[in-house]
């Protein structure tokens, strides 16, 4: 047979003095003006001055963040305008001495590596016909109509 343990102590309910000590204590003095809502303002000048100081501090932080984001956005727009246009065709070069071509790409191919050389249409056609492999992602040979 299982015995259930009491869920809470019953000592405080039997002893009136213990029950008296368990009650939450109230503040001795209740202020005449209670702030009920977040938008309520304090009634006295010192607390209003503290609130004013804090609000000016926060306003300064907000204005600083706005200025920072506006500068960042202006720099981003300047960078986008100054960026050279994407070439129509590129050749990805290899590593090392002689740097042989690795792939021919359509300009703006997402899989192209960092060693790109912009080329014109005639040069990419010549490279593809001389055996430089076409990128399997952007397929410059099909874009140029060179498929057999």
Q: So what's the pLDDT on residue 78?
A: 93
- In tens, the pLDDT along 96-145 reads 888 889 999 999 899 888 889 999 999 999 999 999 999 999 999 888 88
CA atoms in the 13 A half-sphere facing the CB of 51: 11
The pLDDT assigned to 47 comes to 93
Cα–Cα distance for residue pair 121/127, rounded to 1 Å: 10
pLDDT of residue 21: 58
DSSP β-bridge partners for residue 134: 104
pTM over 0.75: no
Tell me which residue of 140, 135, 95 sits closest to 111, measured CA to CA.
135
User: What is the model's pLDDT at position 14?
Assistant: 60
The C-alpha atoms of residue 50 and residue 80 are separated, in whole angstroms, by 45
14 near 7, Cβ under 8 Å?
A: no
- Confidence band for 22, pLDDT divided at 50, 70 and 90: low
Do residues 90 and 112 touch, judged by C-beta distance below 8 A?
yes
Which pLDDT does position 139 carry in this prediction? Answer: 92
Q: Work out whether the CA dihedral 133, 135, 139, 144 comes out positive or negative.
A: negative
Name the least confident of 34-43, 67-76, 82-91.
34-43
Predicted local distance difference test score (pLDDT) of residue 130: 92
């Amino acid at each position: 047979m299982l015995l259930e343990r009491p869920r809470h102590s019953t000592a405080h309910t039997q002893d009136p003095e213990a029950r008296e000590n368990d009650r939450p204590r109230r503040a001795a003095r209740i202020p005449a003006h209670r702030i009920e809502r977040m938008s309520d303002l304090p009634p006295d000048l010192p607390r209003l001055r503290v609130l004013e100081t804090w609000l000016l501090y926060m306003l300064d932080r907000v204005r600083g963040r706005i200025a920072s984001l506006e500068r960042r956005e202006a720099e981003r727009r300047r960078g986008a305008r100054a960026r050279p246009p994407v070439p129509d065709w590129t050749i990805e070069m290899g590593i090392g001495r002689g740097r042989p071509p690795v792939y021919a790409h359509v300009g703006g191919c997402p899989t192209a590596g960092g060693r790109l050389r912009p080329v014109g249409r005639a040069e990419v056609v010549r490279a593809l016909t001389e055996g430089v492999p076409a990128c399997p992602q952007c397929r410059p040979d099909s874009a140029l109509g060179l498929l057999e």
